[in-house]
Amino acid sequence: MIKLKTVNELRLLRAAGRISQKALHLAGEAVEPGVTTKEIDEIVRKYIEGQGATPSFLGYGGFPASACISVNNVVVHGIPSEKRVLKAGDIVSIDVGACLNGYHGDNAWTFACGDVSKEAKMLMETTENALFEGIKAAQAFSRVGDIGHAVQKYAELRSYSVVRDFVGHGVGANLHEDPKVPNYGTPNTGAKLLPGMVIAIEPMINMGSERVRVLKDNWTTVTADGSLSAHFEHTIAITNDGPVILTSLE
């Protein structure tokens, strides 16, 4: 069931969103050659807890860390490790959630580690732009399919593929709520976007095939063909005046 948020709930979601965005920003600043993904995870956890919040992902479904850190061909749900040392040329997706006063903020960004290839830069730029195309389509009284179509069209026109096994979602007192928000779709289909809805839009775009597989740890999800993948995400509120990004520092 889709839950429309009250003015007070939107205020609480905005506060959680600011914390998750700042934690993500700090994590991104730490991305450099020689740093382990475990060290970045510790930065995220320390900041979130220092703000009186809790990491949304820590223990969620048994996930063992505060951030999902996914490098190169890892699409989502990479588990931070002291054995995973970043090197120049890596692209690093970091997904962070923070829970404050019972409400969640959820966001992700893909960062370049040192100098990356032209192809990697283009993938990252396309995925980021696809996110904002999706946000732009999230107008009151449009539909979820309009968001997915905008993301899909932008990516596929540039010869990238859209991951279909994982999708965006509603956000509120639960980290994952209705509706599901695919990154592909047909215009004017799916749930109607009503003022008070809060959703996470999160394109996962691959350089090669859209197919993915989950490793034996039951979390780490990689591209089936080993190609690079990028992931960007914001939590937004649907309003009569257009979409409002809740996971921002502004």
pLDDT in tens, 61-74: 999 999 999 999 99
pLDDT at 60 over 80: yes
Would the pLDDT of 141 be above 90? yes
What's the confidence (pLDDT) of residue 83? 97
In this structure, CATH architecture of domain 7-245: Alpha-Beta Complex (3.90)
> pLDDT value at position 33?
98
**What pLDDT, in 10s, does the model give residues 221-238?**
999 999 999 999 999 999
Report the C-alpha gap between 91 and 124 in whole angstroms: 8
Chain position carrying tokens 């080993």: 226
In the prediction, which pLDDT does 11 show?
98
pLDDT at 88: 98
Question: What percentage of the chain carries pLDDT values higher than 90?
Answer: 99
Residue type, 126: T
Helix (H) or strand (E) holding 177: strand 177-181
E strands of 51-150, at which residues? 54-55, 67-71, 74-76, 91-100, 103-112
What rounded mean pLDDT belongs to the chain? Answer: 98
Q: Which whole number is the average pLDDT over 71-90?
A: 98
Alpha-carbon distance values, 174 to 101, 111, 182, 241 (Å): 12, 27, 18, 25
Phi then psi for residue 133, to 5 deg, are -65, -40
pLDDT at 4 over 90: yes
Mean pLDDT of 29-39: 98
Q: What is the pLDDT of residue 15?
A: 98
Q: Which two tokens stand for residue 56?
A: 């949304």
Q: Which DSSP state fits 143?
A: B
- Do the beta carbons of residue 65 and residue 57 sit within 8 Å? yes
3-state SS of 198-234?
Answer: EEEECCEEECCCCCEEECCCCCCEEECCCCCEEECEE
Cβ-contact 205, 229 below 8 angstroms:
yes
**Is it the case that residue 250 has pLDDT exceeding 90?**
no
**Alpha-carbon span 211 to 207, nearest angstrom:** 11
Which whole number is the average pLDDT over 158-169?
98
Q: Quick one: which of 60, 26, 22 has its CA closest to 40?
A: 26
